[in-house]
């Protein structure tokens, strides 16, 4: 006997797949964090994670299209599927940014510069935002999603501090400052990843409330 899922079960399955995709992004951030801490890591590992994230995006996108074509969802169900399509785009970009970030960090032989501009703190903040955004998505918790949006101010402030710190190092001709462009690029990737976490949270709030002003 063949059992057919109803639309609620299909959307629940869709959300489970999105959470798995988010967990891959969290693993990518953990990889980046270990690089900053000076651990020797093979960049092929994060390339593989990035590939898995892209594969997940394609599979979930196909799942969303099947629901749209077969179920013709309306109201909150339609918002849930539409939000899912946007969410996986932001998760895929977080995965790509993680790979780019790892490559930028790998170019920095003097990892002390990364510590001095508090890059580990930026990674920690992005990881927290991603985890909280995922939790908000699972629980459909608007308050938690709104908190993630506010947390972006903390990340933006850290980025400004990193940028100002690098400018001071350049002016004072600190040893190894030739790596400043890669360090600044790494900080910028993290700032962008924070923006993607904000987008995730806005999509969750929109899928619950239907407020069009919250869409990125």
DSSP for residue 109: S
Contact indicator for 68, 10 with CB cutoff of 8 Å? no
- Residue 174 backbone dihedrals phi, psi, to 5 degrees: -65, 145
What gap in Å lies between CA 90 and CA 198, rounded to an integer?
9
Residue 71 CB coordination number (10 Å):
15
CATH superfamily of 7-214: Phosphate transport system protein phou homolog 2; domain 2 (1.20.58.220)
Report the Cα–Cα distance between both ends of the chain, in Å, rounded.
44
Per-residue pLDDT of the chain (216 residues; tens, 9 = 90+): 344 678 889 999 999 999 999 999 999 999 999 999 888 888 999 999 999 999 999 999 999 999 999 888 888 899 999 999 999 999 999 999 999 999 999 888 888 889 989 999 999 999 999 999 999 998 899 999 999 999 999 999 999 999 999 888 888 776 657 778 889 999 999 999 999 999 999 999 998 887 656 555
Of residues 64, 61, 205, 189, the one with CA closest to residue 133 = 205
What integer pLDDT is reported at residue 1 of this predicted model? 38
Helix (H) or strand (E) holding 23: helix 7-36
């Amino acid at each position: 006997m063949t059992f057919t899922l109803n639309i609620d079960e299909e959307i629940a399955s869709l959300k489970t797949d999105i959470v798995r995709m988010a967990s891959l992004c969290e693993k990518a951030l953990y990889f980046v964090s270990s690089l900053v801490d000076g651990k020797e890591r093979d960049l092929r590992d994060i390339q593989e994670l990035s590939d898995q994230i892209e594969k997940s995006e394609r599979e979930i996108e196909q799942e969303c299209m099947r629901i749209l074509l077969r179920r013709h969802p309306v109201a909150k169900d339609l918002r849930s599927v539409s939000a899912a399509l946007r969410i996986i785009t932001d998760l895929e970009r977080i995965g790509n940014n993680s790979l780019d970030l790892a490559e930028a960090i790998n170019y920095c032989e003097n990892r002390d510069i990364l510590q001095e501009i508090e890059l580990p703190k930026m990674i920690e903040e992005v990881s927290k935002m991603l985890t909280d955004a995922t939790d908000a998505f699972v629980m459909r918790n608007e308050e938690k999603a709104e908190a993630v949006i506010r947390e972006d101010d903390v990340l933006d402030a850290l980025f400004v501090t990193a940028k100002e710190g690098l400018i001071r190092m350049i002016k004072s001709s600190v040893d190894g400052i030739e790596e400043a462009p890669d360090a600044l690029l790494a900080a910028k990737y993290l700032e962008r990843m924070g923006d993607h976490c904000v987008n995730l949270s806005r999509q969750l709030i929109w899928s619950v409330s239907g407020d069009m002003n919250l869409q990125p």
